[in-house]
Amino acid sequence: MNIIHKRSWELPESAATPEDVFWNRRRFLAGMAGGSLALGAGMFTRPAFAEDDPSAKLYPVPRNEAYTLGRDVTPESVTSVYNNFYEFGSHKQIARAAQALPIRPWSVVLDGMIDNPQTIGIDDLLAKMPLEERLYRHRCVEAWSMAVPWSGFQLSELVKLAGPKSGAKYLRFETFKNPDVASGQKQSWYPWPYVEGLTMEEATNELTFMVTGVYGKPLAKQFGAPLRLALPWKYGFKSIKSIVRISFTDKRPVSFWEEIQASEYGFWANVNPKVPHPRWSQASERLLGTDERRDTLLYNGYEEQVAYLYKDMKNEKLFM
Ligand SMILES: Nc1nc2c(c(=O)[nH]1)N[C@H]1C(S)=C(S)[C@@H](COP(=O)(O)O)O[C@H]1N2
Ligand SMILES: [Mo]
């Protein structure tokens, strides 16, 4: 995402290599030598990052056929090497750097206005939730898009587990903060950790999906392992990665991008072809892989499932 005060902050890898990153890289390179990965001109040709994830035995999970794409699934070889994850860099080639993120142990804090506050380990959470696969489109605010088979569970199931009190109106999500492994978080002009928010009604909509896997495997780190959101009717920045905390609150959260540039990245961020970004059109999108251009659809084509959420809202910038 372009922000106005863009700075080139990435240190050369050799200048910022804490020991654990180094050892992770060593393991990663050893894996490549074993033939599961190959490097060509700095690009991965065959991604296979999730293989020693302890949740691997859970996948693949049954597909819920209710969600169709109207286009081909974007190949893993494309989506796993073109990622937005500012914690690891402001460009799209963060897949390798993201392998430094430790994803076990990993726990998620549920707190705020709920009956059952708790800290739950990711594997305990996976055991409790009904896992399924859904084909979803994903539309980045930068106008590229992809279509992927996410695995995970409906967020409404986790909301049930938390037991919200009647005053809870919003959910606030937070990503990990660990600048030792995520060099982007050393850049103090960003408001780390990454934060996102939803209304309770949005959070319990059927489409709102907590992602734990993709392509029939545990979620690879560059996609936001071990737990991320997928909100297919909103611009991609709302789909927060590597979640460590979900707080139930009566105050509307201020999200990471909103805090940086509220005039360009608002709270609602629903997809709409007729509402341009202040610096570019949103009328069409570019499909990753083929570079085909397609017309953008209102709510990214999910109008039927979500339009009711926004019907009576006045004076809200629903599409930015
Ligand atoms: N924590 C965190 N979550 C994030 C981001 C990020 O930089 N940090 N980028 C967002 C943006 S802008 C997009 S488009 C999607 C990209 O997801 P992908 O890399 O799996 O395609 O992740 C979203 N979630
Ligand atoms: Mo994005």
pLDDT digits (tens, 9 = 90+) for 213-225: 999 999 999 999 9
* Domains along the chain with CATH numbers: 13-310 (3.90.420.10)
Task: Indicate the pairing of strand 144-154 with strand 284-287.
Answer: parallel
Structure token digits, residue 62: 């049954």
The CA distance from 81 to 225, in Å, is 15
pLDDT of residue 184: 98
317 is in an annotated binding site: no
Starting from the CA of residue 182, give the closest ligand: 1
Would the CB of 1 count as within 6 Å of ligand 1? yes
Q: Which of 35, 219, 202, 2 is nearest to 131 (CA)?
A: 219
The CA distance from 192 to 183, in Å, is 12
240 is in an annotated binding site: yes
The CA distance from 4 to 86, in Å, is 15
Q: Examine residue 193 and say whether the peptide bond preceding it is cis (omega within 30 degrees of 0).
A: yes
pLDDT of residue 10: 30
pLDDT of residue 1: 57
Residue whose Cα lies nearest atom 8 of ligand 1: it is 85
Helix (H) / strand (E) containing 146: strand 144-154
Would the CB of 83 count as within 6 Å of ligand 1? yes
Task: Indicate the pairing of strand 107-112 with strand 43-44.
Answer: unpaired
pLDDT of residue 33: 42
What's the CA-to-centroid distance between 166 and ligand 1, angstroms? 31
Mean pLDDT, residues 103-115: 98
Is residue 221 a contact partner of residue 215, using CB atoms and an 8 Å limit? no
Starting from the CA of residue 101, give the closest ligand: 1
Q: What are the φ/ψ torsions at residue 214 (nearest 5 degrees)?
A: -155, 150
Which of 49, 194, 237 should be mutated for ligand 1, with most atoms under 8 A from CB? 237
Would the CB of 84 count as within 6 Å of ligand 1? yes
Q: Which of 284, 125, 142 is nearest to 211 (CA)?
A: 125
83 is in an annotated binding site: yes
140 is in an annotated binding site: yes
Is residue 106 a contact partner of residue 226, using CB atoms and an 8 Å limit? yes
Tell whether the model's pLDDT for residue 15 goes beyond 60.
no
pLDDT digits (tens, 9 = 90+) for 142-161: 999 999 999 999 999 999 99
pLDDT of residue 51: 58
> Across the chain, what does the average pLDDT equal?
89
How many CB atoms are closer than 10 A to CB 41? 5
Tell whether the model's pLDDT for residue 255 goes beyond 80.
yes
Alpha helix locations (H) across the chain? 19-33, 76-79, 95-98, 122-128, 155-162, 200-203, 256-261, 303-306
What's the CA-to-centroid distance between 85 and ligand 1, angstroms? 5
pLDDT digits (tens, 9 = 90+) for 35-83: 344 443 344 444 445 557 999 999 999 999 999 999 999 999 999 999 9
Mean pLDDT, residues 78-105: 98
pLDDT digits (tens, 9 = 90+) for 268-298: 999 999 999 999 999 999 999 999 999 999 9
308 is in an annotated binding site: no
How many CB atoms are closer than 10 A to CB 54? 13
Would the CB of 260 count as within 6 Å of ligand 1? no
Q: Name the percent of the chain lying above pLDDT 70.
A: 84
The CA distance from 129 to 131, in Å, is 6
How many CB atoms are closer than 10 A to CB 208? 24
What's the CA-to-centroid distance between 128 and ligand 2, angstroms? 30
What's the CA-to-centroid distance between 84 and ligand 1, angstroms? 4
**Could you tell me the pTM of the whole model?**
0.87
The CA distance from 86 to 54, in Å, is 26
The CA distance from 200 to 248, in Å, is 9
